Structure 1
Amino acid sequence: MATFDLVVVGDANPDVLIAGAPAVPAYGQAETLVEAGSLALGGSAAIVAHGAARLGLSTALVSLVGRDAAGDFVLDALSSAGVDISLVARHEREPTALTVCLGGADGDRAILTSLGCLASFEPPKQLPSSRHVHAAAYFLQPRLAAGLAELFGDARSRGATTSLDTNDDPAGSWKLAPGVLDVCDYLLPNEAEALALTGTSDVRAAMAAFAGATVTPVVKRGRHGATALNSGKTHTVRSTPVVPVDTVGAGDSFDAGFLAGLLSTGDLDLALALGCACGALSTQAAGGTAAQPSWNQAVTYASATTSTAPVATIAHNEEES
């Protein structure tokens, strides 16, 4: 029997969230007043783990933080949500990674990240047994990227399924190591990342580029829902758009909902619907985790707002378990 439902591997850091930032901050030691500021749990992997635990999955995070106040903050936020942090190591010298998100008046944002100890993060060769292994922030962690094919291969040999959300590539190379997609069951990019990974100009072409691969691409499209390609069949779920308060971490919350739906039902359409619901609901407060839903909240929202009618049956399945 698996020790965990989900093991998440990757980045964890505090996010400093600034709302109402000017497009170009004034230098010269000028002090600029902004609309709001807050401190939140950040890092794609940490947000996924936090969201999955909120949805009821037994979840562990494998990551690296420093021996500093930022690391204490990260570990406290994760453990308070029920995430197992026994495999989050602490670097003796390098600081915890830190991200500053500058949110502009037009809804766009700039993301400034100091990698700190993440550049040194190398997960153990073998993870604890689980039903699923998810990796995130591939391009920020070179040692994780170099060993991910082996890590995924080992997890699959012990019965787990696997998924990857590469997130952005600051270097702009968008090259995955050989063999990674061969042992990855689900690839979870947003629309811009899918185009960059495939060198295509639209989602249809990006999906077609994955047609010959064994991986199932799941492309997050924000207000337009999500699309997946599995065994030659396209699956699309559309949801009713919401007015966002803050979109930081919405894609990571989608990942948590998608994986929870997949592990709970095995149905790709229902998983997409739950992913869309979790992504949308997460935008209703500042930061990536403050508005992440519970299982019942996600199911109720998905039933009311997505194009996948059978979502309502998941609540009944939960009551029977």
Structure 2
Amino acid sequence: MTRTPDLLTFGESMVSLRSAGPLSAGGGLSMHVAGAESNVAVGVARLGHRVSWSGVVGADPHGEFIVRQLRSEGIQVLNRVDPGRSTGVMFLEQRTADISRAYYYRTGSAGSTFSRKDVDRAFSGGARVLHLTGITPALSKESREAVEYAAARADGEGMVVSLDVNYRGKLWSRDAAREVLAPLARHARIVVASDDELALVASAPDGGEGGEGRDGTGHPDAAEVRMANRLLDLGVEEVVVKRGASGAGVHTAAGRWEVPAVPVTSIDTVGAGDAFTAGYLSALLDGLDVEGRLHRGAVAGAFAVSTSGDWEGLPHAGELLLLANTPGGSTQR
């Protein structure tokens, strides 16, 4: 008998071809799986939970690679193969030590055809948590309707809905994103956003974009607090704000919590936000309190930035204490 998944997520996963230097100079490329939702799926699965991922891939080697990689992580893959479209591809260029640039080739991809029928198929096994991002509704009208349908249905069925804003400026404008994501957030119990994304789901006090999310001391500024309170008034229970190297915070009706980033040597920041979200949601599933969820999110994010790849370096449950118990630069023997 199949057990109900702890977490269900869906979206487009692509093949990511990574370069170690400028793409224009040529050189070798390494092949990876990329996708915010599948990054979270891997992170939560590695931390001991049952996870389902749903998506659409093309009838091509790229799609086969994605499905094989996700299944190898113990994820239940509920994919559909579209023989008439290709799996999306992205190139990730390490332009400098501090700047990476992504180039997408996903217009009209198989993943952009995710539909309400795919949602129905994904929901057949149920789930405790449905995790959504703001990327999928940006891909196509069909995918946007699927996300809106899934959020409303999950909310009505009593699932915990998690929404990570994950704004992608190469996919849509901030105005277009706000028009879709602000209503979507009303179905979410947990909203996750970076400090410059919060205004896309909750208007700033003056109706504008708001500030940077922190005052001069690194604490939330008044605009962030008021935007978080507006979301709480709409029924969101936890407003999680990712601050990168400055840590993260959570606003709830009971108060506010902050956690600093775990000090590590950063070599690759791609996927760090997804790692944080995976840590946070896994801790929620394990019954940890808000402070514990924040801490685990910070630890997972630290693993991500101190290893290469979108998700390859994410921790297993038995490794969560590794960063705290092993001095930097040492070797466990």
TM-score relative to the length of structure 2: 0.81
For 1:124, what is the secondary structure of its paired residue? helix
Partner of 1:5: 6
Distance 1:298 1:288 in 2: 18
2:49 is the alignment partner of 1:75:
no
2:52 is the alignment partner of 1:52:
no
Equivalent positions of 1:96-175 (< 5 A) are: 96-115=87-106, 116-122=109-115, 123-125=118-120, 127=123, 128-136=125-133, 137-142=135-140, 143-169=142-168, 170=170, 171-173=172-174, 174-175=177-178
Partner of 2:228: 210
After superposition, give the CA deviation of every residue in 1:4-44 in whole Å (9 maximum; x if it has no partner): 0000121211111122227xx4xxxxxx155x642111111
After superposition, give the CA deviation of every residue in 1:77-123 in whole Å (9 maximum; x if it has no partner): 100000001x2111121111111111122411111112212222223
- Quote how far apart the aligned CAs of 1:194 are: 2.8
Distance 1:13 1:67 in 2: 13
After superposition, give the CA deviation of every residue in 1:41-61 in whole Å (9 maximum; x if it has no partner): 111111111111111110000
Partner of 1:200: 210
User: 1:196–1:269: structure 2 CA closer, same or farther, 3 Å change rule?
Assistant: same
Q: Are 1:64 and 1:91, in contact at CA under 8 Å, matched by a contact in 2? A: yes
Match of 2:295 among 251, 258, 273: 273
Partner amino acid, structure 2, of 1:120: T
Structure 1 residue runs without a partner (length 5+): 26-31, 306-321
2:194 is the alignment partner of 1:182:
no
- Quote how far apart the aligned CAs of 1:153 are: 2.6
Distance 1:276 1:81 in 2: 22
For 1:192, what is the secondary structure of its paired residue? coil
Q: Are 1:277 and 1:302, in contact at CA under 8 Å, matched by a contact in 2? A: no
Higher mean alpha-carbon deviation, 60-69 vs 293-302, is at: 293-302
User: 1:147–1:33: structure 2 CA closer, same or farther, 3 Å change rule?
Assistant: closer
Structure 2 residue runs without a partner (length 5+): 204-208, 214-220, 328-333
Q: Are 1:195 and 1:201, in contact at CA under 8 Å, matched by a contact in 2? A: no
- Quote how far apart the aligned CAs of 1:241 are: 2.6
Distance 2:31 2:160 in 1: 33
Q: Which runs of 4+ in 1 moved over 6 A?
A: 302-305
Partner amino acid, structure 2, of 1:233: G
Q: Are 1:66 and 1:90, in contact at CA under 8 Å, matched by a contact in 2? A: yes
Higher mean alpha-carbon deviation, 234-243 vs 188-197, is at: 188-197
Distance 2:158 2:3 in 1: 9
- Quote how far apart the aligned CAs of 1:233 are: 1.9
For 1:130, what is the secondary structure of its paired residue? coil
Distance 1:62 1:302 in 2: 35
Match of 2:249 among 223, 227, 233: 227
Q: Are 1:152 and 1:162, in contact at CA under 8 Å, matched by a contact in 2? A: yes
2:270 is the alignment partner of 1:248:
yes
Partner of 1:289: 311
Distance 2:4 2:262 in 1: 37
For 2:110, what is the secondary structure of its paired residue? helix
Partner of 1:316: none
Distance 2:111 2:280 in 1: 26
